[in-house]
A and B are shown apart, each in its own frame.
Chain A
Amino acid sequence: MKINWTLLRWQLRQVYPINLIALILSVLYVLFTEELLLFTGISLPLLFILLHVGLVSFMLGRFHSAASQYLYGQGFSRKELWRTNLLANLSSMLIVWIPLCILIYFGLRSQLQDYDKNYRFPVLAPLEYSFPIAVLVTYLLILPLFQYCFVRLASPLRRSFNSVVLLICFLLIFGTIATSFNLAYVPTSVVILAVCGFAFASLVLLIKSSKLHQSMEVRN
């Protein structure tokens, strides 16, 4: 599979401002949050991920915009365009996620908080090591849903609102489980099982969005 870097740069150009703001916000949040960044009760990070993925997908999923019309008229295959769209989404995620990992795994956050005399650091810093993994999993679960939603909205099929309902349903259930249940009291195997259900839904919709993208309408 060959990556068309020019096309990827073109796509990313549209989401630069969002990613820049997201990067700054996430870095500031990770550096200056005094509470431990834990897998449980991640309401603010979850909200952030939701907004980031939603905005990036929206920007890249405006298939009726003039920019999309121009792009889709340049002779690129639909597969290549979809692949690049997905890569742009994933790159946006990595723009936020990689600095997060650096700050946490290289101990920069811990050192700063230690300097700020936060009692949790550096002693409790290892408890945060699962946080980047949780963020990555959340990104990967939510991203295909938005991808599918916008492709489905642009597809020549009736009842495209089904995808919106599916998205809302997914987000409500996922959000409730992630924030309401005290996962610290739940065996890991049960958490993995619950994640598997979401992962299955995401994977199916990701594959389907690729298929739908073939027959999608791009017009003003």
Chain B
Amino acid sequence: MKPGTLDDLATLMTFIFIVMLPFLIVFLLWKVFKRGRKGGSLSQEAPSGNRHTRVAETCAMLGLCFSCCIATFFLSNPFALPVAFQPNAPESAMVELSLTLLLMFLITAVIALLCWFHRTISASILLLICFAVGAVVVNNGEILNASAHQTEFANIPVPITIELEDNIVGADIWFNDFYLGKTPIQMDLDDLLEKLPRLTKELRTAHDDSESKLSHHRQIFLNYLPFSLVTPRGIGAGDFRENQVDVLVRAELNGQKLYSLNQHDIEMGYRSRQGIHPCQVSMAWTLPAWLEEIDLLLDQARLNNYKVTREWVTSMETYESQGWKNLNDRMRKEPRYREVMQEWARLRWNLDTVQNSQAAWNKLNEICNDADRRDYYHTGSPAGYAVESILPNLDVSQLVERATSRINENLDISGYRLIRHDQQYEFETRQVKTLTNPVRTPMVASDFVLAHAIWKLDELLDTTNPDEDNPIETEIVSALLRIDQKGSPYLNLCSILGGTIYDKFLLRHDWSPVSELDSRFQPNLTYVGGVQINEWFYKAASLNSEWGTTFRNQNRTEVLQMAKQITTNPFTTKFEQLEFLFLDKNKSNYFLAEKFRPTFFNQTIPSENNRMEMLSLRLKYLVEMQPHVKTDHFVKAYREIGNNRLYRAQLDELARLEPQLQFEVLTALINTSAELYAQKPGDNSLYLSNRDDLAEQRRCLPLPESAELLREWIMEEVEEHNQRVKRTQYLLTQNKFPDLQLETIAQTGETKLVELVLTGIESQPTPSRLGILSKLTEHPNEEVSAPAKELRQQLEQIKEQPLPQRS
């Protein structure tokens, strides 16, 4: 049976029923009439219904009337009851509820009296009319929305809370140079919006000077924070304010300028049918001194071979999230800092005591309670690392049972923020919690702890037994699908967990091409890269499992066709939208990305302006294809950029290639630059710049050839020798060079070049570089060993410095 057939049948039957209803009424009337005509019935002489019958029918009408009222007032306005019993509910909500109940009582009384003194038929007709009118009027969302704004909540202030993250209290805050007070600030949003001066261009430019900027590790922090207070979508036309208010924030702590660490829009508080939604502005600010102190702590950890003590953890904890966020930043560039984070988590959460499943369970509960207390959780925090550390000891069934029971409470999982760093996902709790559905339970911070544990445990179980479904993939995925079969947050989580259940669920959907889809399946369409595509086909093609591989193999033509559709206009295409082509890189002989490459690369570039975006996309595509990629592919893509300068991001893309392949690709691209330069000798500056950038990147590779190239390049006796040394020095301070390059330069034994090495060691004194330093201190040449010894002494001093604490 085709899907939808029974729907049609139901519609037909309902139609027949509606058509037949008048006939049924006529038939019954005729039966009654016929019976009356026959005569001889006792009813001719009987009273017009005895007392008991009237009582019964009146009672029945009362029951019906009660249900009608409930349906009209509460089923059509599910928020009415929750609003009335909210802690901050306005008095008017309770008055409205009381009036509703009174009205219900009046209608019921009128119907009952009519039924008693007149006839059931009159009462029934009146009831039906009341019900119909009531259902239409009350069920109209606009009317309710408008009335809610104007009557229920109009006089209730919408509170705005302004605070700084990490418990920074007592900081002075200015919005558009209007002084608000000291944090934490609580005020009325309407009052604030009334007094707040407009953000003018002058005001914006007045703060945009060099003094207001703080440069720290290539990052620029501003001492003002521009953001917009925006009205969330879907609130409706009944809202009372403009949709966006631009604000420029300044903050000072004890007379010292604070520098902002984040920049994002903040949901404005608002009034709706559900009630008052407060506005919470939570901003991350810092002092330059704190950044230096955190740096000192992190440097000390590195100088101690990434080992930290309990005292170090205590000091670092005083900086709260700024401490572990900085550590996370360093971890991305220097993976050994992960050891510091793990040690921090171990010491903070006493993970040595976790030796069995019961202890692991207790620890998880402890972390959950801490997250609830803070109302915040981030997977990259020490708590997140603690969760990952206890996973091997955690009882899977216990975790699954708790998570399933929580999901079965009809959990609303829309309140999370997913962050992608390279190929890694992180997530954190969102600050704004909006009541979207009265029967859904909003998530609390501990739910994120459970979600994190489930996610990582699933990965762990998949590694140990990839061929079998684990309880997470059966129980949790099923529970999530039962809540919502179409909502993207639920399906996204299911796709992360995977498993046969999710695979089956997707592959059994109607994933025919859009042209073949029945009009009833229009809601299944989605836009990918600006093209309409069957959502189920796209999801099935993106399955990262054996089933997904089989699906892509069996439907190669359709999948390639879809990829072609998505890249019709490549400038609206994000690389993530083509990831399904790369899923079988190591699984199947038929690698879709390789098959699609000629089609994709032969697409014409419609305008000169889009050339660079196209190159970025193509480079990303090729990098993702490795090892099934050749140097020629990059050369071909590069040739198409025309007379354009390479972006830093494009060079960073190339940096994701394996070093040896990267070396070959960069060499080929340098040669191509030379070729292009030869072809167009008149206009060469861009080609030369590109060639220099490519050559510089080649010199930074962790390969002996690269190190040798660097050595030759610096030592070359040319006019711009000093510039080269300065450039190398700069790159060393930015930690661009691997240890190999430092060692090669150090081996030259030239005093000037050794200074460069020392700069590199000073900026990143890793244990391996300290080894180079030791060698330099023992160098026979005093000019080399003396500054090396001096540096070693400096580093020793850093190591011995007292542990700083946030004041």
Contact = CB atoms under 8 A, between A and B. Distances in A.
17 contacts: A35-B3, A119-B504, A123-B501, A159-B119, A160-B32, A163-B57, A163-B120, A168-B25, A169-B124, A169-B127, A173-B67, A173-B71, A173-B131, A176-B131, A176-B135, A186-B438, A202-B63
Interface string B33-59: 001000001110011111011001101
A153 B33 CA distance: 11
A208 B53 contact: yes
B50 A119 contact: no
Contacts of A117: 508
A217 B40 CA distance: 11
A165 B124 CA distance: 7
B427 to A, nearest CB: 25
A20 to B, nearest CB: 20
A180 to B, nearest CB: 8
A201 B59 contact: yes
Interface stretch (B4-12, B91-99, B272-280, B728-736): B4-12
B788 to A, nearest CB: 66
B43 A200 contact: no
B64 A198 contact: yes
Contact of A156 (B42, B121, B127, B135): B42
B369 interface: no
Given A158-B46, A194-B74, 13 more contacts: A152-B53, A157-B43, A159-B120, A160-B35, A168-B124, A186-B78, A190-B78, A194-B75, A195-B67, A197-B65, A200-B60, A200-B63, A208-B52
B680 interface: no
Contacts of B315: none
Given A123-B505, A194-B70, A197-B67, A205 B56 contact: yes
Given A124-B482, A200-B63, A185 B78 contact: yes
Interface string A7-50: 00000000000000000000001001111000000011001001
A165 B14 contact: no
A66 interface: no
A201 B61 contact: yes
A70 interface: no
B42 A217 contact: yes
B53 to A, nearest CB: 6
Interface of A: 29, 32-35, 43-44, 47, 50, 117-120, 123-124, 126-127, 152-153, 155-166, 168-170, 172-174, 176-177, 180-181, 183-191, 193-202, 204-205, 207-208, 211-212, 217
A141 B437 CA distance: 29
Contacts of A165: 120-121, 124
A161 B25 CA distance: 10
A151 to B, nearest CB: 11
Interface in B464-483: 477-478, 481-482
B17 A47 contact: yes
Closest 10 CB pairs of A and B: A197-B67, A201-B63, A156-B42, A119-B508, A208-B56, A197-B66, A200-B63, A162-B120, A44-B10, A169-B124
B485 interface: yes
Given A156-B41, A166-B57, A211 B52 contact: yes
Interface residues of B, number: 70
Contacts of B128: 169, 172-173
B335 to A, nearest CB: 40
A153 B35 CA distance: 9
Contacts, number: 200
Given A119-B509, A166-B57, A197-B70, A47 B32 contact: no
Contacts of B477: 123
Contact of A47 (B14, B505, B506): B14
A189 B29 CA distance: 39
Contacts of A170: 60, 64
B59 A193 contact: no
B47 A186 contact: no
Given A35-B6, A173-B128, A187 B78 contact: yes
B700 interface: no
Interface in B70-84: 70-71, 74-76, 78, 81-82
Contacts of A189: 81
Contacts of A193: 70, 74
A166 B50 contact: no
Contact of B439 (A44, A169, A172, A185): A185
A160 B439 contact: no
A165 B135 CA distance: 21
Interface-central residue, A47, A186, A196, by most chain B CB under 10 Å? A186
Interface string B762-802: 00000000000000000000000000000000000000000
A185 B76 CA distance: 10
B361 to A, nearest CB: 27
A208 B504 CA distance: 54
A126 B477 CA distance: 14
B203 interface: no
Nearest to B485: A124
A181 B48 contact: no
Contacts of A173: 64, 67-68, 71, 127-128, 131
A205 B50 CA distance: 14
A88 B42 CA distance: 28
A92 to B, nearest CB: 20
A115 to B, nearest CB: 12
A190 B21 CA distance: 29
A78 B307 CA distance: 93
Given A44-B13, A156-B46, A207-B56, A197 B64 contact: yes
A157 B47 contact: yes
B482 A126 contact: yes
Nearest to B71: A177
A200 B482 contact: no
Interface string B133-167: 00100000000000000000000000000000000
Contacts of B485: 120, 124
Contacts of B56: 204-205, 207-208
A163 B127 CA distance: 15
Given A44-B10, A162-B57, A194 B67 contact: yes
A47 B17 CA distance: 8
Contacts of A35: 3, 6-7
B32 A153 contact: yes
A197 B63 contact: yes
A40 to B, nearest CB: 11
A19 B131 CA distance: 34
Contact of A157 (B10, B49, B506): B49
B28 interface: yes
A204 B56 CA distance: 6
A169 to B, nearest CB: 4
B367 interface: no
A157 B120 CA distance: 14
Given A123-B501, A161-B29, A199 B63 contact: yes
A162 B60 CA distance: 12
Given A198-B64, A205-B56, A34 B1 contact: yes
Nearest to B505: A119
Contact of B31 (A44, A120, A153, A191): A153
B491 interface: no
B630 to A, nearest CB: 42
Contact of A200 (B6, B62, B78, B507): B62
Contacts of B437: 185
A123 B481 contact: yes
Given A170-B64, A187-B439, A198-B63, A217 B482 contact: no
B123 to A, nearest CB: 9
Contacts of B482: 123-124, 126-127
B368 to A, nearest CB: 27
A161 to B, nearest CB: 5
Given A124-B485, A200-B66, A208-B53, A190 B74 contact: yes
A159 B35 CA distance: 12
A152 B60 CA distance: 14
A49 to B, nearest CB: 12
